[in-house]
Chain A
């Protein structure tokens, strides 16, 4: 099963990378607000079905892929 994990800085956590990106986009003439920079982790998971794969990847997020104090995460099972 193919899984994609989106890890984002939590709301309220200062994201200086997002601020830098927002400022650079401003220099290009784009009017943007609230830019936040996170990361994407793609995985191939050994699981019988999508529900099991998702449960596994959620455990991975809790234990390693995200720091729950700073980051929120979303798991998508691509199939």
Chain B
């Protein structure tokens, strides 16, 4: 019998900051949360991977530009190419964009200020491995905390890749985009931090809807491969 508990890795880069919160949140949602060090060239046996927030490699040159070359990022690229589920949060989103796993780029906030507050999001696409517990149009309250969160899509972005939009845009992102997925729908990046919103004590547990969707999808995958 396969274990019902899916294994979800969280990559720690030098300068990652929210890796522990991500591990904690995934464990709270009944996943086996597995720390992955950035030097690991091969991922352990995983059903999904999370790239956490923070300031990998000091955000030097551009956010995420150096982390793209980490051995673990190369392994995540292979994992995603094989259909593996990958979620990038904040700096993790920036890394996925720099690595070419997601379209677009993240730029300095239009306000030039670091913004740290709860924001309201609207779910634009349901039924993804990351949004199966949400309904289209549903509002989620999840905090952002970034200085470079202004999403700029490529000119040819397929609108179906927009998964989340800000209700009240905090950073000047084009078309209010807060989260995008790849064409296949197995890689999602978003600037807000669902791992900081998994307990009502923290102001909202709406982030748990996204992360629990991921845990569900990872569990299905684990059972399918078992």
Cross-chain contact of B154 among A14, A17, A64, A69 (Cβ < 8 A): A69
B172 on interface, CB distance cutoff 8 Å: yes
Q: Which residues of A contact B172 (CB under 8 A)?
A: 14, 16
- Tell me, in angstroms, the Cα distance from A65 to B68 when the chains sit together: 13
CB-contacts of B96-123 with A (<8 A): 98, 104-105, 107-112
Contacting B at CB under 8 A, from A49-79, are 64-65, 67, 69-70
Residues of B within 8 A of A20 (CB): 112
Given contacts A14-B107, A67-B98, 9 further A-B contacts (CB under 8 A): A14-B172, A16-B108, A16-B109, A16-B110, A17-B112, A64-B65, A67-B62, A69-B154, A70-B107
Given A13-B152, A14-B150, A14-B172, residue A67 in contact with residue B105 (CB < 8 A): yes
Interface band, chain A: 10 to 19
Shortest Cβ gap from B59 to chain A (Å) = 13
Q: How far is the CA of A64 from the CA of B150 in the complex (A)?
A: 20
CA distance A69 to B104 in the complex (A): 7
- Which residue in A16, A65, A67 is a CB contact (below 8 Å) of B112? A16
Chain B residues with CB under 8 Å of A17's CB are 108, 112
Interface residue count on the B side (C-beta < 8 Å)? 16
Which residues of B does A touch, CB under 8 Å?
Answer: 61-62, 65, 98, 104-105, 107-112, 150, 152, 154, 172
Q: Which residue of A lies closest to B107 (CB)?
A: A70
Whether B61 pairs with A65 at a CB distance below 8 angstroms is yes
Query: Does B108 lie within 8 Å of A70, measured CB to CB?
Result: no
Most B CB atoms within 10 A — which of A13, A17, A20, A64?
A: A64
How many angstroms between the C-alpha atoms of A20 and B110 in the bound complex? 10
A9-31 vs B, Cβ < 8 Å mask (1 yes, 0 no): 00001101100100000000000
Given known contacts A13-B152, A14-B172, A64-B61, A69 and B112 CB-to-CB distance under 8 angstroms: no
Q: List 17 A-B contacts (CB under 8 A).
A: A13-B107, A13-B152, A14-B110, A14-B150, A14-B172, A16-B109, A16-B110, A16-B112, A16-B172, A20-B112, A64-B61, A64-B65, A65-B61, A67-B62, A67-B105, A69-B105, A70-B107
